[in-house]
Amino acid sequence: MKFKNKVVLVTGSSRGIGASLARGFAREGATVVVNYLQNKAAAEDVVTSCLELGGDAWAIQADVTNEQAVGEMVDEILLEAGKIDIVVNNALKSFVFDPDKRKLAWQLTWEDYQGQIDGAVHSAHNVCQAVLPAMKKQSKGSIINMVSNLVERPIIPYPEYTTAKTALVGYSRNLAAELGPFGIRVNCVAPGLVYPTDASRDTKEEVKEMIIAQTPLRRLASPSDIEGPVLFLASDWSGFMTGQTLFVDGGLVMK
C-alpha cells in the first residue's frame, strides 16, 4: 500500500489513461479524486472500481480550463481530505489520432493551436496554481504532467497537438526549477500511442503496425502500461527526480 493516506487528484480520469491511473493509485491504497468534464456515469464507474480495489475515491466535475471551476474543485478536496499530495494533469482537449483526417501544417489556423495549448498548458497551469499553496504549506508534493513521445519523435505530424505538449514540457521544467526549494517535484510522462483509448480508436491498422514494427518491444502500450511509470514518479522512490520526462513507448524514443 505505497500510497496509503495519500490524496491524489487525476484530471480527466473518467476514461482511458486517466481512469487506469486512478485505479492504479487506488490499488495502492490512495484516496483518489476522479475529475471529469461531462460523463458523470463513467466517472462514478471509475470511483466504484477504485473502492473495490481497496482505495477511497470520489468524483468531481470541473472544466480544468476554467480557473474558477478548478479553484472550487481544489477547495472541495482540501475541505474533504485536508491535503493534496499528488496531482496528475491528464486532461486534454479532445483530439483524434487519424493520419488521414489530420490537418496538414499549412491548413492549421492559430485557433487550432490555441485550442490545444489551452487544453494542455492552460489547464495544467490552472490546476498547479490552485494546489501550490497547499503543497507549499506541507513542504511536499508531486506533480506529473502527461505529454507525448511525439515531442521527441513526431512519427506522424500532429503539429497543433505536439506543439502544445512540447510547451507543457517546458512549463513543467520551469515549474520544477522554481518549486524544488519547497519540496515540490514536477515531472512528465510521455507515452507513445496508447490503445485502446477514445483518441486512438480511429488509428488504422497499418499505422499501428508501422509503429509496432519500429518499436523495440514490438507492441503498442495499453492504458495499464502507463500506471507504473506515473506511480513511480508520484512515489518517494523517485524522491530525487524533478524536471524529467519519462518516455513510455516501448523504446521508440531512446534518450
Residues annotated as catalytic are 161
| Residue with cell string 517535484 | 185
Amino acid at 114: Q
Contacts of 95 (CB under 8 A, 6+ apart): 116, 119, 158, 161, 199
Given a contact cutoff of 8 angstroms between Cβ atoms, the answer to whether 192 and 226 are in contact is: no
Distance CA 59, CA 10 (A): 10
The three state secondary structure string of 48-101 is HHHHHCCCEEEEEECCCCCHHHHHHHHHHHHHHHCCCCEEEECCCCCCCCCCCC
Distance CA 15, CA 43 (A): 8
Could you tell me what percentage of the chain is helix, strand and coil, using 3-state DSSP and rounding each to the nearest 5? 50, 15, 35
Amino acid at 146: M
Residue 141's SS3 state is: strand
